[in-house]
Amino acid sequence: MLRPLLIGATAVTALFAAGFSAAVATRGEPSAFDSVNRDRPLVALGSERQCERYAGLPAHWRDDPKAGMVRLRGGEFVMGSRSGYADERPAGDGRTRVGGFWIDQTDVTNAQFAVFVRATGYVSEAHRQGGAVVFHVPTPEEMNARDLAWWTWVKGASWDHPSGPGSNIEGRGNLPVTMITQNDALAYARWLGRDLPTEAEWEYAGKAGHDGADLDAAPRDASGKPTANYWQGAFPVLDSHEDGHAGLAPVGCYAANDFRLYDMIGNAWEWTKDPYTGPHQSHSNGDTAAVAPPARRHDTPMVIKGGSFLCSRDYCVRYRASSREQQEADLPASHIGFRTVLRDGA
């Protein structure tokens, strides 16, 4: 299941390198990757060398209202998976139609969010709440002392102070912005006249014309090399960073999917605009909410997609386009970011 997908991604990269457009057809259907993209200055990432050099702002950003985005034609796909967790099983036959839309090629970066904050004076919810939930590799003593020892509510942590007041994002402009609530993400999106993807739009983009991977298929290429930033080793105490990164990676260190979208799997979870309700699933996790201040109101859980640098074979096997997790809308955490969409006719 995984191997044909990866061969497809390699083929598309080769086509782009040769100056052709991507025209991947699945089951005789034209690709949703619109031919309009061939004339656009797409973000060219996909390797360690390229992501490390990236400043975090796509070319023509703020001059071109669609800079750093690709357009996907609308279409029908099967949402969910029968080869993942129970919570991602399709509702009914799963056939789901989405309209055409533009979507960011990468997660929104610290550099992009910083421009938004400078332009608008926006104060993030983590700043207003006085902290955020931050991951760290726990010691054995911490593991013995409490559940979920890898999560801590860190006072003063925020998107621009990722480890608390003494830290900053200098030299981290190319990382996904994190410790962002759903409202923060929506505020950024609306500043650009955009929106957050629905879960269906996100998954349509994430599957990129394929069925999606099985539960036991980690994101690796034909030679076994990791193709996304996730967790190799024993979670949460040993991150072997076989994929080259412990913790968050810059955006675009790994090959794009067949729609030229980077990091749809792994690195940071991504907000959608959809509440985590309905027949598609029923499960609760609430890991990060467990360490938030007890007086805190518990807000509506929303769907997040794509998995993060913390997804591992032995803990949270959610490095698939169909996988999903819930997160309280107003809880900022260090493993969640977002990307934006612009719908046709919006």
| Residues of this chain that bind Ca ion (CB under 5 A) | 229, 243, 245, 309
Please state, in angstroms and as integers, the Cα–Cα distance from residue 151 to each residue in 137, 179, 214, 271, 280, following that order.
9, 13, 28, 19, 28
Q: Which lies closer to Ca ion via its Cβ, residue 199 or residue 263?
A: 263
CB of 309 to Ca ion, least distance (A): 5
Q: Which lies closer to Ca ion via its Cβ, residue 242 or residue 299?
A: 242
CB of 246 to Ca ion, least distance (A): 6
Q: Which lies closer to Ca ion via its Cβ, residue 77 or residue 309?
A: 309
Q: Which lies closer to Ca ion via its Cβ, residue 16 or residue 230?
A: 230
Q: Pick from 280, 83, 268, 258: which is nearest to 199 by CA?
A: 280
Q: Which lies closer to Ca ion via its Cβ, residue 105 or residue 229?
A: 229
CB of 233 to Ca ion, least distance (A): 9
* C-alpha–C-alpha distance, residues 56 and 159, integer Å: 15
Please state, in angstroms and as integers, the Cα–Cα distance from residue 143 to each residue in 41, 236, 309, following that order.
48, 9, 20
* C-alpha–C-alpha distance, residues 71 and 342, integer Å: 9
* C-alpha–C-alpha distance, residues 129 and 61, integer Å: 31
CB of 265 to Ca ion, least distance (A): 12
String of DSSP letters for 65-117: TTTTEEEE--EEEE-S-SSS-GGGPPSTT-EEEE--EEEESSPPBHHHHHHHH
CB of 344 to Ca ion, least distance (A): 36
**What SS3 class is residue 162?**
strand
Cβ atoms 322, 80 nearer than 8 A: yes
CB of 145 to Ca ion, least distance (A): 26
Q: Which lies closer to Ca ion via its Cβ, residue 229 or residue 326?
A: 229
* C-alpha–C-alpha distance, residues 244 and 37, integer Å: 30
At residue 124, what is the residue type? S
Q: Which lies closer to Ca ion via its Cβ, residue 135 or residue 151?
A: 135
Cβ atoms 84, 323 nearer than 8 A: yes
CB of 48 to Ca ion, least distance (A): 12
